[in-house]
């Protein structure tokens, strides 16, 4: 893995601000000290020793990604199917069927993996409202793998299920419906909703992925900087209930959630229209275009491609599919960076339907999606936190100094960073076009570069090359103001 040469960074004696002499090649390579920009105002000593280029990949993460087991995922899916329904409103007192049995099994399964995992129910008493047709106790199941710092990275799915007459296939073929419309009132609102709702793909797949990653991370032997949380949400099908309650609590308790990787319907590679695609995964993220969720999505694509090059991450610049929702949006609602993974080709006739069974699943495809999640989450959890690029008033710390025509980027240092990677691209375009590695500084100048014509961002990098997601310099929307007219 690429290392920032400590001797080199120590030898950089900064006497003034750092600046790029030229913008360099169109696409600067990510892993080479030669791409440290030519800097002015400092001297370099003992730089005769060449740095040793090494693999861009962390062998620990490679091993972790390889440890994701297709067979284990298949076994978890079959177990989840065996509960017949995991509806949030189903019976909670049977030891083998319904939501109570399912959540107890998930808790005990994750507990069995490692004493390092702190597994618990995240419990709430929810009043009757909307699609919650009676007062009900809901329990997310969460497994925490403590890191060296309190900042948190979530991998999630929802273990609750739903089945309606005709399923999602009939819903899609019919006229558009209001996704927030309350469900029709059941005959007896106080009776448990125990109709079969196997939900093996929706969202047994995201749940199995989350459970399997909790095992792989806890047993990896890696000492992560970030605290990892493997979260199986409940109440998703009634309006993201479990995720909203947890995200709201996290905001109230100032829990620093840095990223949420939410997986919902990620285990089937055969579209209902016959189109098969087992080599790609979609990642949805809320805008605007350089929101932290968008940067997280770009990060998943960048690091997924390195560790799982056979699997393509397709970024979608929208919160989710039309008329559909997922738990990542609940985290967005409370201000956290969160993205939603979705299989590339859905079979709607099996969703929200009694036909959402193991027989419709591709455990191999689910395993590839799990590996992309693992690569991105592990890289992020080993990296320093993304640097801060706003001042106390929320304004981006970018200016035109010193000439008045330069791009002058400032950021706050991230604990554990050994350097920073600067990214930029034309202001009209979704993907970073240029990047360059700089040493452990908190300011960088690109001369004669009009800040109005590019998007700029900076990521923190540790000594081993683990990289945060990018913090982008964006102007917050202006409130505007009214114009007073003479009477
Ligand atoms: Zn779902």
Calculate how far, in angstroms, residue 164's C-alpha sits from the geometric centre of ligand 1.
13
CA–CA gap between residue 371 and residue 110 (Å, rounded): 18
Distance in Å, CA 158 to ligand 1 centroid: 7
Dihedral class, residue 167 (left if φ above 0, else alpha if ψ from -120 to 50, else beta): left
Q: By the 8 A CB rule, do 227 and 147 touch?
A: yes
Asked if 281 contacts 313 with a C-beta cutoff of 8 angstroms, the reply is yes
CA 381 to ligand 1 center in whole angstroms: 26
Its sign, for the CA torsion 284, 286, 292, 298, is positive
Q: Would you state the pLDDT for residue 173?
A: 77
**Rg of the chain over all Cα atoms, to the nearest angstrom:** 24
Give whole-number Cα distances, 277 to 308, 313, 324, in Å.
16, 12, 21
Q: What is d(CA 313, CA 337) in angstroms, rounded to the nearest whole number?
A: 18
Structure tokens belonging to residue 102 = 């399912």
pLDDT digits (tens, 9 = 90+) for 285-316: 999 999 999 999 999 999 999 999 999 999 99
Distance 246 CA to ligand 1 centre (A): 17
Residue 179 has a pLDDT of 56
Tokens 């936190």 locate to 385
Ligand 1 centroid to Cα of residue 485, in Å, is: 51
Distance 192 CA to ligand 1 centre (A): 20
The pLDDT of residue 2: 45
Look at the block and give the residue holding tokens 């099908």: 237
Give the three-state DSSP class for 123.
strand
Q: Tokens representing 61?
A: 């993460």
Q: How many angstroms does the Cα of residue 265 sit away from the middle of ligand 1?
A: 6
**Dist. CA 304 → ligand 1 center (Å):** 23
User: Contact 470/295 with Cβ under 8 angstroms?
Assistant: yes
Give residue 19's pLDDT.
42
Q: Report DSSP letters for 305-353, one per residue.
A: HHH-TTSEEEEESSSSSTT---HHHHHHHTT--EEEEEESS--GGGTTS
162 Cα: distance to centroid of ligand 1 (angstroms): 9
Ranges of the chain with pLDDT below 50: 1-49
What is the per-residue pLDDT for 185? 63
H or E element that contains 379? helix 363-382
Peptide bond into 288 cis (omega under 30): yes
Residues 95, 105 contacting (CB under 8 angstroms) = no
Contact yes or no for 15/442 (Cβ under 8 A): no
CA distance 342 to 216: 21
Using DSSP, how many helices (H) and how many strands (E) does the chain show?
Answer: 10, 17
> What pLDDT, on a 0 to 100 scale, did the predictor assign at position 191?
86
Question: How far, in Å, from the CA of 465 to the mean position of ligand 1?
Answer: 35
Q: What is the largest CA-CA distance in the chain?
A: 81
Kindly give the pairing relationship between strand 398-399 and strand 407-410: antiparallel
Q: Is the peptide bond before 365 cis (omega within 30 degrees of 0)?
A: no
């Amino acid at each position: 893995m690429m290392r920032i040469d400590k001797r080199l960074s120590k030898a950089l004696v900064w006497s003034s601000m750092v600046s790029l002499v030229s913008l360099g090649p169109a696409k600067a390579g990510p892993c080479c000290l030669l791409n440290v920009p030519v800097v002015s105002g400092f001297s370099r000593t003992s730089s005769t020793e060449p740095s040793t280029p090494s693999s861009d990949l962390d062998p620990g993460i490679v091993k972790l990604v390889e440890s994701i087991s297709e067979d284990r995922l298949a076994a978890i899916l079959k177990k989840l199917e065996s509960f017949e329904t995991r509806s949030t409103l189903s019976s909670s007192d049977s030891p083998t069927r319904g939501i109570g049995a399912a959540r107890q099994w998930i808790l005990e399964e994750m507990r069995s993996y490692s004493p390092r995992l702190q597994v618990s129910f995240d419990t709430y008493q929810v009043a009757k409202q909307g699609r919650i047709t009676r007062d009900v106790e809901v329990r997310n199941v969460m497994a925490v793998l403590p890191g060296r710092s309190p900042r948190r990275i979530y991998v999630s799915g929802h273990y609750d299920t739903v089945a309606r007459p005709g399923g999602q296939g009939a819903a899609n073929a019919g006229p558009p419906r209001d996704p927030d419309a309350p469900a029709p009132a059941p005959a007896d609102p106080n009776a448990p909703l125990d109709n079969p709702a196997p939900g093996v793909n929706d969202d047994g797949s995201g749940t199995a992925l989350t459970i399997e990653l909790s095992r792989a991370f806890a047993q990896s032997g890696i000492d992560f900087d970030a605290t990892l949380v493997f979260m199986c949400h409940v109440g998703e099908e009634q309006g993201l209930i479990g995720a909203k309650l947890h995200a709201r609590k996290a905001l109230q308790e100032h829990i620093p959630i840095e990223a949420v990787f939410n997986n919902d319907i990620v285990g089937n590679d055969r579209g209902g229209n016959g189109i098969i695609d087992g080599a790609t995964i979609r990642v949805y993220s809320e805008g605007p275009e350089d929101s932290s969720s968008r940067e997280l999505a770009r990060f998943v694509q960048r690091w997924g491609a390195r560790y799982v090059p056979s699997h393509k991450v397709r970024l979608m610049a929208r919160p989710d599919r039309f008329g559909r929702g997922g738990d990542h949006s609940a985290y967005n609602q409370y201000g956290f960076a969160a993205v939603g993974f979705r299989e590339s080709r859905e079979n709607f006739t099996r969703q929200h339907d009694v036909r959402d069974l193991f027989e419709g699943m591709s455990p191999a495809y689910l395993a590839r999606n799990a590996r992309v999640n693992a690569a991105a989450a592990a890289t992020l959890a080993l990296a320093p936190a993304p640097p801060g690029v706003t001042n106390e008033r929320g304004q981006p710390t970018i200016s035109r100094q010193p000439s008045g025509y330069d791009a002058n980027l400032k950021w706050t240092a991230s604990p554990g960073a050994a350097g920073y990677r600067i990214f930029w691209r034309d202001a009209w375009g979704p993907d970073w076009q240029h990047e360059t590695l700089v040493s452990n500084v908190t300011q960088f100048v690109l001369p004669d570069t009009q800040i109005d014509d590019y998007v700029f961002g900076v990521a923190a990098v540790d000594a081993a090359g683990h990289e945060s997601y990018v913090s982008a310099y964006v102007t917050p929307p202006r409130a505007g103001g009214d114009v007073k007219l003479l009477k």
